[in-house]
């Protein structure tokens, strides 16, 4: 599947205001690690952005800053007009209703059925805890089944999550995120724990849903070949800094692989990668 063209202009960009805006964002942890270093970029509506870089380059920290799981040391991040780092706890809960998050390790409750795990995605819009499928309104139970059908797992609706394959578990996690009806989906290394075939299936699914729903996606990945084939834009991080930012159309895999070469000094490598942007 090639990069999505939903909402693209004749100049290769996307129309409309930024849905996600990162401005001079930095995160320094108490141990002195500067995980994100003065990062700035905007993501317009409907764009699928691939976030690339070596382990430790700052990808996961950046994703958690965007979702409000970390507070920045400096700078700001806004999603759909909400300045995430300035939100009160209740404001952050409201903002997260429009932000889906898919984790590397799925985040499912193994002893619960697939439909129960998917229904958990609706809790942000309900009051009080829910135990068991029948504790949810019928309309939500139907919606959960529809989401499972959309990811190809309707037949497994009442199967325990811990009996599924890794690829199936990640698809349940995607269905859970879709219960929120998010306008933005953050996927943090969603295929890092999957085999190659399952990785392709999961990323194809995310790309298809983004195209059909006009959803904005930021997806962090290690696999360059998967990112080049399924995103509209690539941002590369090295040592917490943006060293590559370009549209995927016309980008060859070899040029992006410069992000993963460790030879030479960090400064020389950064300069070489920056020339590709």
Angle 116-117-119 from CA coordinates, rounded to 5°: 65
Residue of higher predicted confidence among 4 and 17: 17
Identify the band that residue 276 occupies on the pLDDT scale cut at 50, 70 and 90. Answer: very low
pLDDT tens-digit series, residues 161-207: 999 999 999 999 999 999 989 999 999 999 888 888 999 999 999 99
Identify the band that residue 129 occupies on the pLDDT scale cut at 50, 70 and 90. Answer: low
Q: Residue 6 above 60 pLDDT?
A: no
Angle 4-5-6 from CA coordinates, rounded to 5°: 100
Kindly state the average pLDDT of the residues 224-242. Answer: 90
Lowest mean pLDDT among 17-26, 64-73, 138-147, 252-261: 252-261
Residue 212 CA: distances (Å) to CA of 24, 149, 189, 215: 32, 15, 22, 8
- Using a pLDDT cut of 70, give the percent of the chain over it: 85
Contacting residues for 120 by C-beta, under 8 A, at least 6 apart: 109, 176, 179
CA end-to-end distance (rounded Å), the chain? 23
Mean pLDDT in the chain?
84
Kindly state the average pLDDT of the residues 220-245. Answer: 90
Q: Residue 85 above 90 pLDDT?
A: yes
Q: Residue 136 above 50 pLDDT?
A: yes
Identify the band that residue 223 occupies on the pLDDT scale cut at 50, 70 and 90. Answer: confident
Give the CATH class of 1-98+184-277.
Answer: alpha beta
pTM: 0.83
pLDDT attached to residue 7? 36
Percentages helix, strand, coil for the chain, rounded to the nearest 5?
Answer: 40, 25, 35
Identify the band that residue 13 occupies on the pLDDT scale cut at 50, 70 and 90. Answer: very low
Kindly state the average pLDDT of the residues 55-59. Answer: 90
The answer to whether the beta carbons of residues 229 and 1 sit under 8 Å apart is yes
Closest CA to 79 of 105, 107, 101, 57: 101
Kindly state the average pLDDT of the residues 116-126. Answer: 81
Residue with tokens 């890794």: 166
Name the residue ranges covered by the structural domains of the chain: 1-98+184-277, 113-181
Identify the band that residue 58 occupies on the pLDDT scale cut at 50, 70 and 90. Answer: very high
pLDDT attached to residue 17? 78
Which element (helix H / strand E) includes 154?
none
Q: Residue 1 above 60 pLDDT?
A: no
Q: Residue 127 above 80 pLDDT?
A: no
């Amino acid at each position: 599947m090639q990069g999505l063209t939903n909402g693209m202009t004749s100049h290769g960009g996307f129309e409309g205001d930024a849905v996600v805006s990162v401005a001079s964002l930095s995160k320094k942890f108490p141990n002195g690690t500067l995980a994100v270093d003065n990062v700035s970029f905007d993501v317009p509506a409907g764009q699928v952005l691939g976030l690339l870089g070596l382990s430790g380059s700052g990808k996961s920290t950046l994703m958690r800053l965007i979702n409000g799981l970390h507070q920045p040391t400096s700078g700001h991040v806004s999603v759909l007009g909400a300045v995430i780092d300035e939100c009160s706890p209740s404001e952050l809960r409201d903002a997260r209703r429009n932000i889906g998050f898919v984790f590397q390790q799925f985040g499912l409750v193994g002893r619960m059925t697939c439909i129960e795990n998917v229904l958990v995605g609706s809790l942000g819009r309900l009051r009080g805890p829910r135990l068991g499928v029948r504790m949810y309104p019928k309309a939500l139970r139907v919606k959960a089944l529809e989401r499972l059908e959309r990811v190809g797992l309707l037949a497994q609706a009442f199967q325990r999550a811990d009996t599924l394959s890794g690829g199936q578990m990640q698809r349940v996690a995607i269905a859970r995120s879709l219960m929120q009806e998010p306008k933005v989906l953050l996927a943090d290394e969603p295929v890092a724990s999957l085999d190659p075939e399952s990785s392709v299936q999961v990323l194809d699914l995310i790309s298809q849903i983004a195209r059909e729903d006009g959803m904005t996606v930021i997806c962090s990945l290690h696999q360059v070949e998967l990112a080049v084939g399924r995103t509209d834009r690539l941002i590369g991080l090295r040592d917490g800094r943006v060293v590559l930012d370009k549209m995927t159309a016309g980008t060859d895999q070899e040029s992006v692989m410069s992000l993963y070469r460790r030879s030479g000094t960090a400064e020389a490598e950064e300069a070489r990668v920056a020339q590709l942007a």
